[in-house]
Structure 1
């Protein structure tokens, strides 16, 4: 890394020699003070720092790039998700960002990506804003005083400059914003966007390259928790808006993490040290743990406050539906502070079905698990990405394709081998619609989903047996404690069975068309485990 222009620029001593002041590893209280003094945000009545992210209130997928380098060219799955950018363009943007930061007060945060030190990477983030430094301080695994004293050279450097605007014409990017990963030399640049989730996801994307390639660790876009009595560990896959954070914050279990994990031969570990939850319609009744976690040290993005009382109004989406809050994991009452768990015995795939066709829960065979992992069917929910204003059905491989630099088959093969070794039970959970599609039906209640997940984790869901749906190729439970049998089969909830069959046929055909086009050489046993239209 040091031999490249990027490496030289990203070293603190060289990247910011003309800065008015470089603030290294400040405590959260001091970062809050700095953010308030700089006019970056205000304090809410609950003590959290509330900031406005500016023009961009969600991720910008079209502004994400990977530097095309001979060292990684044959490993990366190039395409719309991993769009290539030349090293010349990347270095030009880095140089521009460094020049922009010259003379400014900066905030440097050092931490780990990975709570298991056998597989962690040292990360150094250089921020233009104190509020973003607070955000990433809470999201990274925070080093002990001893670890910080002997931190040494970071493995990954990040430059975060929301005030810098790229020139699309000369820089070879699509807009004034750019998120660029230099996987060959340990660099990340996040420019032109104040949405802090871009920093978090860029680091995650980098780890999704390093862990499988260098450590033989399956990196996963999932939440995880553990039963404190039995030690049973569960992982919950899902894109934003499917319920990963909400369902993993279970008061009867200990939270390991809400979004990013690695699965090694010894168990799982949180890649992060914090949580990044959607705040829309948050309530102390439905989500008490998350609600109470929003206090001093937390960072809220685009949450609307009462101008007098400073009380947050989580129902107000006038700014964006993608209101967010970041907080350290220790703000959750029931948490496993070391961020580690055993080998998972239960795997849950969370999907938000806007067609209202998939059952609230179904059990998957090993082949069906591989199929749905590679399909990654869900719906993008409003506000998570720029331009998404209502649920949009989509296929996102691995339930996290926007963050995966390698081919989906690499991660899927690793998951399949782990299912074989551990005999983990796998379930598909629909947290989307029932009784009709979006606009006609209704969102499956959180209470129902919690009951189904609890029954899957305990094994109670298997007691009454299953009925097989030939079209969807899913095993649907006949009974579940605390849940009406009527809602278990989605066909029962529609106005007519014929209307449901028509929608189910459409969805099954979508699966067939997508998988046939995306994976023309998919193993036949895996392909046959997925949905099939019935003429």
Structure 2
């Protein structure tokens, strides 16, 4: 099927459908969603929906179409699974036929990339009104003037009510998320989890931006009064959202960014925050953002009072809230700033052996960026009875279509160009492993991050960790000196050495996959 035929088929769908709603405002989308019984309103005015079987991303159901123009560029494997053009085109026709039978469709236009020199225009076609509301809040909203001349570069088609047949459609289940770079289309079906729209487009940007000399990053970002930009990388549970939400600094974005030749920009126009155990005391800005127009996914709501119970995990622990970035009072608009002066890598080390803060060389930064380490704790998944090391390349492995070293080398180059300070911060355990030691005090972690951002650790004497090679500050304002050296916090020093060597071996085993990296980067990891 040619690209022209492909687009004509979609245009015919939009022309023959009974009701196609274009770029509805928030109030009308909420009205349609309520009339269609897609969810309910909570006492705060937020719209709540549940997503059925799929309460999170489905990585085994994500595919990239194996097309001639891109096949040599993609890092094919478990993350980037190939699907044939023939399978994709048949599924596309099936989905469009399915949508043609629906009484209503919802179409939205938006952008990704706050920097207009590096943005991509989107058309989002939804079966569900609340999914279109989600897209309205998460992507960047065009002005009326921009809409009058809007030309979409990529199209998302989301049909959660359509189920694939794995035998005939080349999928692994009834669910699918398929990216075609030649047809510039993302096709989603079989899952109601709205985050698939957001993350599939992030994967698209991870493919497109490096060719524009822009480093795509799975991180949060904020900026101080002096224009000093900080980036926070970290996997789930490391404190990325908590530590980047600073009342004395302005928010650039909470999850996805690009680093161009002129500085950092937010890829999105909204936030998609985890809200398990959300409270006005711990995260007041997010709590107050969950008002009319925001979307709550799989949050338990009291049937009578309509009050959200953020501590209830009946549907999932992965409860989510989507809201526009301007709902955060200290967010900057447009979400663009200068080059970073500080990068923070966050890890929650349940082995209790990594220092609470250490300064990294450029090569160490590239090593830990490629590693993307944190710990999976006991009880978080069935069968996990003790802490397990987990690694996610570049702190975002599921969204990287290109070979990982391409992103890491770009990071190293930008660190050198802009003289960026890089720190590894352990928000995990001290004085022993999980179950023996204790979690790092948040007040101490905040003090260490504050000192790093203010440059107070740049002139402090450091000692080199004998196993991990990390440069540990001897002093940090507001933090006891003995806490900075992890071995000193353990009662049994031999137990510490045993755990440190165990984690070091896991780092080395994981890093064997990066056989093409330079010797300088390879030698910047743990030394056994």
TM-score interval, normalised by the smaller of the two chains: over 0.9
Distance in 1 of aligned mates of 2:384 and 2:206: 25
Establish whether residue 398 from structure 1 lines up as the match of residue 394 from structure 2: yes
The structure-2 alpha-carbon separation of the partners of 1:174 and 1:143, relative to structure 1 and needing over 3 Å to count, comes to same
Establish whether residue 222 from structure 1 lines up as the match of residue 219 from structure 2: yes
Tell me how far 1:407 sits from its aligned partner: 0.4
Q: Is the Cα–Cα contact under 8 Å of residues 106 and 132 in structure 2 kept in the other structure?
A: yes
- The range that moved more, 335-344 or 386-395, is 386-395
TM-score scaled by structure 1?
0.94
- Candidates 100, 103, 114, aligned match of 1:102: 100
User: What's 1:76 paired with?
Assistant: 74
3-state SS of the aligned residue for 1:266? coil
Distance in 2 of aligned mates of 1:308 and 1:382: 36
3-state SS of the aligned residue for 1:461? coil
Q: Is the Cα–Cα contact under 8 Å of residues 240 and 381 in structure 1 kept in the other structure?
A: no
Structural mapping, 1:254-333, within 5 Å: 254-333=250-329
Write the deviation string for residues 224-260 of structure 1: whole angstroms up to 9, x where unpaired.
1111x21111111223333332222211111001111
Write the deviation string for residues 470-525 of structure 1: whole angstroms up to 9, x where unpaired.
2011112222222333432333444422222211110101111221x202232111
The structure-2 alpha-carbon separation of the partners of 1:391 and 1:332, relative to structure 1 and needing over 3 Å to count, comes to farther
3-state SS of the aligned residue for 1:426? strand
Write the deviation string for residues 185-228 of structure 1: whole angstroms up to 9, x where unpaired.
21101111111111100000001101112x1111111111111x
Distance in 1 of aligned mates of 2:294 and 2:472: 40
Q: Is the Cα–Cα contact under 8 Å of residues 225 and 256 in structure 1 kept in the other structure?
A: yes
Establish whether residue 358 from structure 1 lines up as the match of residue 357 from structure 2: no
User: What's 2:56 paired with?
Assistant: 58
Tell me how far 1:295 sits from its aligned partner: 1.2
Distance in 2 of aligned mates of 1:531 and 1:266: 34
- Candidates 520, 525, 528, aligned match of 1:530: 525
3-state SS of the aligned residue for 1:318? coil
User: What's 2:369 paired with?
Assistant: 373
Tell me how far 1:387 sits from its aligned partner: 10
Tell me how far 1:67 sits from its aligned partner: 0.5
Establish whether residue 3 from structure 1 lines up as the match of residue 13 from structure 2: no
Tell me how far 1:441 sits from its aligned partner: 4.2
- Candidates 159, 176, 187, aligned match of 2:157: 159
User: What's 2:25 paired with?
Assistant: 27
- Candidates 513, 522, 525, aligned match of 1:518: 513
Tell me how far 1:4 sits from its aligned partner: 5.8
Write the deviation string for residues 97-149 of structure 1: whole angstroms up to 9, x where unpaired.
11111132111111001011111000111011111111111110111111111
Tell me how far 1:382 sits from its aligned partner: 9.7
Establish whether residue 340 from structure 1 lines up as the match of residue 339 from structure 2: no
Cα root mean square deviation, aligned: 2.2
Q: Is the Cα–Cα contact under 8 Å of residues 165 and 192 in structure 1 kept in the other structure?
A: yes
Q: Is the Cα–Cα contact under 8 Å of residues 238 and 399 in structure 1 kept in the other structure?
A: yes
The structure-2 alpha-carbon separation of the partners of 1:465 and 1:77, relative to structure 1 and needing over 3 Å to count, comes to same
- Candidates 234, 240, 250, aligned match of 2:246: 250
User: What's 1:178 paired with?
Assistant: 176
Tell me how far 1:409 sits from its aligned partner: 1.1
5+ residue gaps in structure 2? none
Distance in 1 of aligned mates of 2:41 and 2:426: 37
The structure-2 alpha-carbon separation of the partners of 1:20 and 1:243, relative to structure 1 and needing over 3 Å to count, comes to farther
Establish whether residue 190 from structure 1 lines up as the match of residue 165 from structure 2: no
Q: Is the Cα–Cα contact under 8 Å of residues 107 and 133 in structure 1 kept in the other structure?
A: yes
Distance in 1 of aligned mates of 2:378 and 2:290: 22
The structure-2 alpha-carbon separation of the partners of 1:53 and 1:205, relative to structure 1 and needing over 3 Å to count, comes to same
The structure-2 alpha-carbon separation of the partners of 1:189 and 1:343, relative to structure 1 and needing over 3 Å to count, comes to same
Q: Is the Cα–Cα contact under 8 Å of residues 359 and 422 in structure 2 kept in the other structure?
A: yes
Distance in 2 of aligned mates of 1:258 and 1:93: 34
Distance in 2 of aligned mates of 1:439 and 1:44: 38
Distance in 2 of aligned mates of 1:441 and 1:273: 40
Distance in 1 of aligned mates of 2:316 and 2:199: 19
Establish whether residue 149 from structure 1 lines up as the match of residue 145 from structure 2: no
The structure-2 alpha-carbon separation of the partners of 1:142 and 1:381, relative to structure 1 and needing over 3 Å to count, comes to farther
3-state SS of the aligned residue for 1:251? coil
The structure-2 alpha-carbon separation of the partners of 1:310 and 1:495, relative to structure 1 and needing over 3 Å to count, comes to farther
Q: Is the Cα–Cα contact under 8 Å of residues 23 and 108 in structure 2 kept in the other structure?
A: yes
Tell me how far 1:370 sits from its aligned partner: 0.9
The structure-2 alpha-carbon separation of the partners of 1:6 and 1:239, relative to structure 1 and needing over 3 Å to count, comes to farther
3-state SS of the aligned residue for 2:230? strand
